[in-house]
């Protein structure tokens, strides 16, 4: 039985890694443009992984996304900002790993405490989304208050913090709502199937 569970877990992890790679390379799959915003969907895959196969696997899948982001910053930047900030693993990799750890452990704790898995998934989705947005923008504010980064946002250095706060309040909130809705819709049925399969 244990061997079967390990194979099942490994299969799910591999599928989710493949989805992350697809989301990174296929336009409009990993990032959805909505008016002036670009909503990232990749964090949702990491959160679902953290809930379905556990925090460590969530962190691994988040790490894959982070490494893809980091490599892309050198070879095929997704924006003018990427080669300035995403070349730093503290901005591109660490926040993605932390999504899996925060969402996964929070889900486990809340599901045990409340016995309401769907509610725990909603909260884990929100927390995972906030972890990603907060750590990325926080790292930019901490390490990259430079004229070059400010210019990439179209402002001078003195206006960089208000711009980052605006991104948190627009993109960040949109991504948070997306995660809160999609995570339980996907994760709950997948967990139910896993339980039935033993």
Q: CATH number of the domain that 53 lies in?
A: 1.10.1760.20
Average pLDDT, rounded, for the chain: 87
* pLDDT one-digit tens code per residue, 144-196: 877 788 787 777 877 788 888 888 888 888 899 999 999 999 999 988 887 77
Which domain range does residue 23 map to?
A: 1-197
Domain count, the chain: 1
Residue 124 buriedness (CB in 10 A; 0-12 / 13-18 / 19+): buried
pLDDT tens-place string over residues 2-32: 777 788 788 888 899 999 999 888 877 877 7
Residue 123 has pLDDT above 90, yes or no: yes
- DSSP string for residues in 27-95: TTTSEEEETTEEEE-HHHHHHHHHHHT-HHHHHHHHHHHHHHHHHHHHHS-SSTTHHHHTTSHHHHTHH
Over residues 84-116, the pLDDT tens digits come to: 888 999 999 999 999 999 999 999 999 999 889
Q: Which two tokens stand for residue 175?
A: 């991504």
């Amino acid at each position: 039985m244990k061997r079967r569970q390990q194979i099942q877990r490994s299969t799910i992890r591999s599928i989710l890694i493949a989805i992350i790679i697809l989301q990174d390379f296929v336009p409009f799959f990993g990032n959805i443009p909505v008016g002036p915003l670009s909503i990232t969907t990749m964090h949702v895959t990491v959160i679902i992984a953290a809930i379905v196969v556990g925090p460590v696997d969530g962190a691994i899948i988040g790490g894959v996304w982070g490494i893809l982001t980091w490599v892309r910053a050198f070879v095929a930047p997704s924006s003018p900002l990427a080669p300035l900030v995403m070349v730093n693993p503290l901005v591109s990799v660490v926040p993605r790993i932390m999504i899996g750890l925060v969402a996964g452990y929070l889900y486990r704790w809340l599901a045990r405490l409340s016995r309401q898995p769907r509610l725990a998934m909603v909260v884990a989705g929100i927390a995972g989304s906030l972890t990603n947005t907060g750590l990325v923008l926080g790292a930019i504010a901490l390490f990259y208050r430079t004229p070059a980064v400010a210019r990439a946002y179209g402002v001078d250095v003195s206006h960089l913090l208000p711009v980052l706060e605006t991104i948190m309040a627009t993109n960040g909130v949109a991504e948070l709502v997306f995660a809160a809705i999609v995570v339980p819709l996907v994760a709950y049925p997948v967990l139910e199937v896993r339980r039935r399969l033993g």
